[in-house]
Chain A
Amino acid sequence: MRETAYTVSELSAELKGALESAVGQVWIKGEVSGLKAYQSGHWYFTLRDADAQLRCVMWQTYTRRVKEPPAEGTEVYVLGRPSLWAERGELRLSVVTMLPTSGVGFQQLALEKTRAALDKDGLFALERKRALPPFPRAIAVVTSLEGAALRDIVAVARGRWPAVRLLIIPAKVQGDEAGGELLAALTLVNRLDVDLCLVGRGGGSREDLSAFNLEPVCRAVAAVKVPTVSAVGHETDISLTDLVADARAPTPSAAVVMVLPDRADVARHVGALGGRLAHGLTRRTRVIAERLVRSGDRLQGATMRLVVQRRHDVGRLAGQLELLSPLKLLGRGYSVATLDTGKLVRSKDQVPAGTRFTLRVADGEVPSRAEER
């Protein structure tokens, strides 16, 4: 025994420490009584059974996941941590999860416990989510070699974005070994030079999907160095890896659509940029010519020669552009004249009267001959 007297604060602090380290976070079953839900979102209530009661508090961060306050007398499971509220000299339970006892199995309890542990470490935080690369070149795919998921992933990828490389890291996705194999495969991703990691499987029973709710697997997803996409089961299934990954897709096929651009869309965009490029230059030269005329510059002769020279350059470059199909310069009414030698006609001096040449227009060629001038 201590020789000197404790102060109240000292003893309270010591009791608080002893209580917290002795018990920690635990599941407790009891009936809710006298619940008061404050405007702030915090709930205060008592949890009781026939012989005892505990004061409880559940902060807004946690209450928002419970749809609405349980009615008086409802039997619930709560996950919480007992502590001492020194200012009031009260024992109090800080609750982080509340589930009705009716219809909740042990598996659900384990799931909620894992969820709470991951949440506590901030693994669901939105600030953690990384943006997906717009044009991934190499994607690590963690899934089973047997399932339909892999076939779907490859088929959709080939249809959308052929310039991608898929690196398959096989892992069992259900059964006792699934957890260990998924963990190993996800760890291996960090040794590959990839832009993105896709992890998932096709639909199945709740039991089939349970490996994607295992804490080590979720932590391995969080530890992948490149952005991650989780796609487990069908639309309605949500696994904990979905919450930890940077993005969640409803199915493996949808994940591919999410991460890979559609080649046709990008081709249209490139075509539009080509058009704007040509138009931008044309407009620019016109603006400059107009300025020169307006300014009535005495050096007009020399300057205009320069502009003509530049226009000639533009013509040459436009000739290059014409080879790029989206521009369709010919289709807009331009034509190109070539001599029999294959040389482009760039000057009237190249075609004295009588010279034969070929005029290329959008839909074909016109044999032509220069007239007397």
Chain B
Amino acid sequence: MTPDSRSPTPDSLSTELRRLEEIVHQLEGEDADLDRALALFEEGVTRLKAARLRLAEAEAKVQRVLEDAAGTLSLVDFDV
């Protein structure tokens, strides 16, 4: 069994920021479709909120990896 060591947030911050940069770039571009601009803006606001939430996430989690005699891995919180 592989313990799930990922953060619960499915979309990573780097994806979030990459998309946000794309949106800003497109909005700053010359294409003049207003509906499209509004849709981009709306998505941008959502991404912005998500990025700020991720930045505000709780303290770094430190865990120790343990392997039992059968070779099964487990994670236990670790105080440094």
Chain A residues within 8 Å of B, Cβ to Cβ: 133-135, 137-138, 140, 150-151, 154-155, 157-158, 161-170, 188, 191-194, 263, 266-267, 269-270, 273-274, 276-277, 280-281, 283-285, 287-288, 291, 307, 310, 313-314, 317, 320-321, 324
Contact B44 A277 (CB under 8 A): yes
Contact B28 A158 (CB under 8 A): no
Contact B60 A154 (CB under 8 A): yes
Q: How far is the CB of B38 from chain A (nearest CB, A)?
A: 6
Contact B49 A167 (CB under 8 A): no
Contact A284 B4 (CB under 8 A): no
The interface centre, meaning the residue of A151, A166, A280, A285 with most chain B CB atoms within 10 A of its CB, is: A280
- Which residues of A are found within 8 Å of B13, using beta-carbon distances? 135, 163, 266
Known: A166-B62, A188-B67, A314-B38. A193 touches B54 (CB 8 A): no
In Å, the complex CA distance between A273 and B52 comes to 12
B6, B52, B55: the one contacting A138 at CB < 8 Å is B6
Contact A269 B59 (CB under 8 A): no
Contact B14 A135 (CB under 8 A): yes
Contact B24 A276 (CB under 8 A): yes
Taking the complex as formed, is B34 at the interface, i.e. its CB lies under 8 A from any CB of chain A?
yes
In Å, the complex CA distance between A161 and B43 comes to 26
Having A270-B51, A283-B28, one finds 13 other A-B pairs with CB under 8 Å, namely A135-B13, A158-B59, A163-B55, A192-B65, A193-B5, A270-B55, A273-B21, A277-B20, A280-B24, A280-B37, A288-B32, A314-B38, A317-B38
Residue total for B at the interface (Cβ-Cβ under 8 A):
44
The interface centre, meaning the residue of A140, A168, A193 with most chain B CB atoms within 10 A of its CB, is: A168
Q: How far is the CB of B14 from chain A (nearest CB, A)?
A: 4
In Å, the complex CA distance between A287 and B37 comes to 12
Contact A154 B41 (CB under 8 A): no
A162, A283, A288: the one contacting B60 at CB < 8 Å is A162
Give chain B interface residues in 40-76, CB to chain A under 8 Å. Answer: 41-42, 44-45, 48-49, 51-52, 54-55, 57-65, 67, 73, 75
Contact A154 B62 (CB under 8 A): yes
Q: How far is the CB of B59 from chain A (nearest CB, A)?
A: 5
Contact A162 B5 (CB under 8 A): no
Ordered by A's residue number, 13 sampled pairs between the chains whose C-beta atoms are within 8 Å are: A138-B5, A140-B65, A163-B55, A163-B57, A165-B62, A167-B63, A270-B52, A276-B24, A277-B27, A288-B32, A317-B42, A321-B45, A324-B49
A133, A138, A269, A291: the one contacting B17 at CB < 8 Å is A269
Q: How far is the CB of A195 from chain B (nearest CB, A)?
A: 9
- Which residues of A are found within 8 Å of B58, using beta-carbon distances? 162
In Å, the complex CA distance between A173 and B50 comes to 41
A interface, over-half SS: helix
In Å, the complex CA distance between A193 and B48 comes to 27
Which residue of B is nearest A194, CB measured?
B5
- Which residues of B are found within 8 Å of A165, using beta-carbon distances? 5-7, 60-63
- Which residues of B are found within 8 Å of A150, using beta-carbon distances? 80
Which residue of B is nearest A184, CB measured?
B67
B2, B37, B65: the one contacting A169 at CB < 8 Å is B65
Known: A162-B57, A163-B54, A276-B24. A284 touches B80 (CB 8 A): no
In Å, the complex CA distance between A324 and B63 comes to 34
In Å, the complex CA distance between A281 and B65 comes to 49
Contact A324 B48 (CB under 8 A): yes
Contact B57 A273 (CB under 8 A): no
In Å, the complex CA distance between A263 and B13 comes to 12
Which residue of A is nearest B52, CB measured?
A270
- Which residues of A are found within 8 Å of B32, using beta-carbon distances? 284, 287-288, 291
The interface centre, meaning the residue of B65, B73, B75 with most chain A CB atoms within 10 A of its CB, is: B65
A138, A151, A273: the one contacting B80 at CB < 8 Å is A151
In Å, the complex CA distance between A162 and B62 comes to 11
- Which residues of A are found within 8 Å of B55, using beta-carbon distances? 163, 263, 266-267, 270
The interface centre, meaning the residue of B13, B49, B58 with most chain A CB atoms within 10 A of its CB, is: B13
In Å, the complex CA distance between A137 and B14 comes to 10
- Which residues of A are found within 8 Å of B65, using beta-carbon distances? 140, 167-169, 188, 192
